[in-house]
Chains A and B, each alone.
Chain A
Amino acid sequence: MSVTEVLAFYNRVGNLFKLTYNDGNLFLVTSDCTIGIDSNKVVIFNGRMYSYERIPGSRPIKPEKDLLKSMITKQFALKLKNLGYRFKGKYRVYKEEAEVENPYKDIFSIYRGFEFRILLLNEDIYLCIDPKIIFKFNSSIKQLIEKGANPNSLKDFSVSYSAEREGIDGYLIETASIGEDFVCKIKNYRDFREVEISADKVFPEPRPELIQKLLNEIGVQYDVIGLQRKLSFLDSKTASRDRLYKTLEIIKRLKSEVFPLKFGEFEVNIEETPVVVR
C-alpha cells in the first residue's frame, strides 16, 4: 500500500516507520584487549562489547532486539554523518544546504532539519522522525562586541567554545576586557570549574530567545521568534497535517539516501508508510 492509500484508508497514524532486516549475527567481543578495534563497528550494550564484524577474540551471537536496535541506531547516525549531515546533540540533524535565508547570516543561521529516535515497540524496531528547526550562532562574543554589543551585557547565558560546537559547554559569567582584547569567564558544565576563554572562540547558545535578545543588543530589529513560529508550522491552521507531510518528505529522502543500511551481515530497510493507530 502506498503512503497516499494508507492515509486515505486510515485516519490515525504516527511518525514511526517500521524497519525491516534480515537475520544475522553480531559478534560478542570476549577478549580483554580492545586496542585497534574500530569504534564505529562496535556498540557497548549492558556492559559488553559487540561488533558487527568478526574480530579476533569474538564469537557470533544472534542479537536480542534491544541490542540490534542499539547497533542500528549507531550505524544510522554514522551513515547520516557520512552523508554530510551535521548533528546538534545526539538526535537532531541538519544539512548545510537546508539553510533558510535570513538577512543576518553573519550572526545566526537557521536550518530545516529533523530529530530522530530508533525505538523498539511490541517487538518491532521503528524509526521515529520529527521535523525540527535548528538554530546556529555564527558570531563569536568578540564579533558581537565588534558589532556594537556592550561587553557588560554579554553574560548570564550558556555558551559553546569547543571546536565541534555540537552542544553547549558552559555558562558565561562575565566578558572582560584585557587591553584591546576580550576574555570570557565561563563556568564549565563538565566539571564546574571556571575557565577563561578568548572571546573569539566563544559562541552564545543558539536559542531563539537569546538570539533575539543579542540582536536587539546590537541594534538589529528582526523578529527571530516570529520566523521560528512560521517555520515550525505554529502559524498554520493545519499545523499537524503540514508536519506530517513534512515528515513523509523526510522519510522519502532518507529511504533513498540512507537505506538500505548495511553493516556486517545485516541489511536494514525502512517502510515508507507510517505506523497506523487502530
Chain B
Amino acid sequence: MISYINGNRIEQEPNLLFDKSDTSAVHPQVYWGLRKYGPYDKDISDIRLVIMSPIEKMNNVKKLVDELNSGTPIMPGGMPRFFRCKIEVIEEVYVESMETASYEKSAFNFVNRADPRDVDVVLVYIPKTSRFLSNTPYYRVKAILASEGYPSQMITENTFANLKWSYLNLASAIFSKAGGVPWVLEDEMKNVDMLLGISISSVISKRNRAGNVPRYVGYVNVFDSFGKWMFFDGTAKPYEKSKRLEQLKELLSAAISRFKIEKKFDPKNIVIHYYKRWGEQEKQCVIDVLNDILGDFNVAFISIDDSHPLRLYDMATPDGSIPRGCYAYLNKNEILLSTTGYTEIASRRMGTPKLLRIRLEQYPEEFISIDDVAFQVLSLTKLNWATVTPLVREPVTLLFSREIAYLTAAISEQDWMSITRPEVNVILNKRPWFI
C-alpha cells in the first residue's frame, strides 16, 4: 500500500526591487539586480568606516576596502556601481595581538574617545572562531561596540581565502549597517500590513555564562509589507522566565506604536513569525495587546521550526533534493517547505535541504492561507542583506532572531542593557547591527 501526502510548488522566484523610485528596477537575483540597478536606497553617498585590526593585517584590510571602492572582476565598478556610494576610511585602530583581551582593550579605547554619530560602521579583522564559544574576539568586540552605538562588520582569514564573492557580501552588509536599504521585495506580501519576527525568551549570559537564575531577554524585528526591515527593539531589562508574558506585552506594544508613527496608519493584518511553537498563553497575550492598541485587527501566529528530522526528496533532480519552493502539507495549516533544494538560480548546494516546518494559526478569522504563507516565507529568504547568495534557508524574520540569540548567549546582561538604552537604541535600531 502506498501512502500519500499532498504537495505543492511555488512556480516562480519572488522578484526583488532595486530602486525605490523606479518600479521597473526588478530582478529575481540580488547580484544581477545590484549590478544593473544599484541599491533600493540611493541616498547614501559616503560610508564612514573605522578599521580595527592587528597591525600585521591592517594593510590587507585597507587593500580590501580599496578594492571594494574600485571594483573587482565579480563586482565591476565597486561600491559606486553596486551601492551608489563610496567607503571612506576615517580611522585605523590597531589591536596588539589576536587574543580576546587585546581586542577588548582596543575596542574600549576606541569607544571611550569616539562619537558614534561620526562613524557608520567599524570593520574588524578577527581570528576565525566557532560561534558556539562565547569568549571570543567576535562576541566581545561586537558587544563592546554595539553597547556604545557602533554597528560592526567582522572579517576573518576565511574572508580573504574566498574573496571572490566575499566582496559583495561584505559590501552589502556594510551598506545596510550604515543605514542603507539594499533591496526589498517587488510585490507586497498578500494581506500583510506588518510583519514581526519575535523572540521572547532568549537566555542571556551573565559575564559570559548563565547566572544564579537564568535570565532572559525578548526582542522583535519589524518588517513592512515589502519585507523591508524597519527596526529592532528589545526588552529594556533581562527578566526571569515567569515574567515572559509581561515582556511580550512590552515588546509588542512598543513595536506597534512605533510602526504606527513611522507608517502613519494602523496595521490591520499582522503576521508574527516565531521560531518556536506558539503557546496558548502567548497567543492570548498577543490578542489582548492588539485588542487594547488596535481593536480592529487580524493576527496570524506563524511558527517556523527547523529542529525536526523531516525530509523530502525528489528523485528527478540531479542530487535527489526536493526543489526550492516545493512544499508538502502535513496538515491543513502545516507545511514542510524547501528553501535550499535544487534550483536553476544556484548551482552549488551542500548536503540535504533542511526543511522549514511552518504552522499557521489565525485570530479572529482567517485572512491568509498556508499557501500565502509559503510564498511569504520563501520571499523572506531573499532579504538577508548580509549575503548576495541566491540560496538562503531561513526567512529573514527567523534569521535575524537567531543571530541575536547567538549574541545574547554570549554577551553580558550589562552589554544588553547598554544596547537597549535610549541614546544607543536611537542609533542602532534602524540598522541591522546584529547580522
Chain A residues with a Cβ under 8 A of chain B: 1, 6-7, 10-16, 18, 91, 115-117, 119, 121-122, 124, 126, 128-130, 132, 156-157, 171, 173, 187, 192-193, 207, 209-210, 213, 232-234, 237-244, 247, 271, 273, 275-278
Contact = CB atoms under 8 A, between A and B. Distances in A.
A91 B315 CA distance: 27
A10 B7 CA distance: 13
A244 B351 CA distance: 12
Nearest to B310: A128
B352 A271 contact: no
Contacts of A12: 7, 312-316, 322, 326
B261 interface: no
Contacts of B2: 1, 6, 10, 273, 276
Contacts of A210: 130, 132
Interface stretch (B48-56, B204-212, B224-232, B284-292): B204-212
Contacts of A276: 2-5
Interface in B1-16: 1-7
Given A156-B135, A157-B133, A239 B3 contact: no
Given A171-B209, A209-B130, A233-B352, A124 B3 contact: yes
A278 B310 contact: no
Given A122-B5, A192-B210, A240-B322, A213 B133 contact: yes
Contacts of B4: 275-278
B212 A238 contact: no
A122 B333 CA distance: 11
A244 B341 CA distance: 14
B351 A232 contact: yes
Given A130-B309, A157-B133, 19 more contacts: A12-B322, A12-B326, A13-B313, A91-B309, A115-B309, A117-B308, A130-B310, A209-B133, A213-B133, A238-B319, A239-B319, A239-B350, A239-B351, A240-B320, A241-B315, A243-B313, A247-B311, A275-B5, A277-B5
Contacts of A116: 309
Contact of B3 (A171, A233, A275): A275
13 contacts: A10-B2, A12-B7, A12-B314, A13-B312, A14-B311, A14-B328, A116-B309, A121-B331, A239-B351, A240-B317, A271-B3, A275-B4, A277-B322
Contact of B319 (A14, A128, A241): A241
B352 A243 contact: yes
Contacts of B319: 237-241
Contacts of B5: 14, 16, 121-122, 275-278
Given A173-B209, A192-B212, A232-B351, A278 B311 contact: no
A156 B313 contact: no
- Per DSSP, chain B at the interface is loop
B161 interface: no
A121 B313 contact: no
Contacts of B315: 7, 10-13, 241
B133 A14 contact: no
Contact of A15 (B213, B214, B311): B311
Contact residue range for chain B? 35 or more
A196 B196 CA distance: 43
Q: Which 7 residue pairs across A and B have the least CB separation, nearest first? A: A241-B320, A130-B309, A240-B320, A277-B7, A240-B321, A209-B130, A11-B316
A14 B320 contact: no
Contact of B350 (A16, A171, A207, A234): A234
Contacts of A156: 133-135, 208-209
B330 interface: yes
Contacts of A239: 319-321, 349-352
Contacts of B309: 15, 91, 115-117, 128-130, 132
A157 to B, nearest CB: 7
Contacts of B209: 156, 171, 173, 187
Contacts of A132: 309
A153 B308 CA distance: 34
A193 B6 CA distance: 49
A15 B3 CA distance: 12
Interface in B382-434: none
Contacts of A232: 351
A183 to B, nearest CB: 18
A191 to B, nearest CB: 9
B386 to A, nearest CB: 21
B38 interface: no
B130 to A, nearest CB: 4
Contacts of A273: 2-3
B218 interface: no
B318 interface: yes
A124 B352 CA distance: 26
A233 B328 CA distance: 24
A240 B349 CA distance: 11
A44 B123 CA distance: 55
Contacts of B322: 12, 240, 277
A67 B21 CA distance: 57
A52 to B, nearest CB: 25
Contact of B7 (A121, A124, A207, A278): A278
A278 B2 CA distance: 11
Given A12-B312, A14-B312, A117-B309, A122 B331 contact: yes
Contacts of B134: 156
A208 to B, nearest CB: 9
A159 to B, nearest CB: 12
Contacts of B151: none
A189 to B, nearest CB: 8
A207 B132 contact: yes
B351 A11 contact: no
B179 interface: no
Nearest to A116: B309
Q: Give the one of B3, B133, B353 with max A CB within 10 A.
A: B3
Contacts of A213: 130, 133
A242 B311 CA distance: 13
Contact of B132 (A117, A209, A241, A244): A209
A238 B320 contact: yes
A188 B275 CA distance: 26
Nearest to A274: B313
A68 B212 CA distance: 41
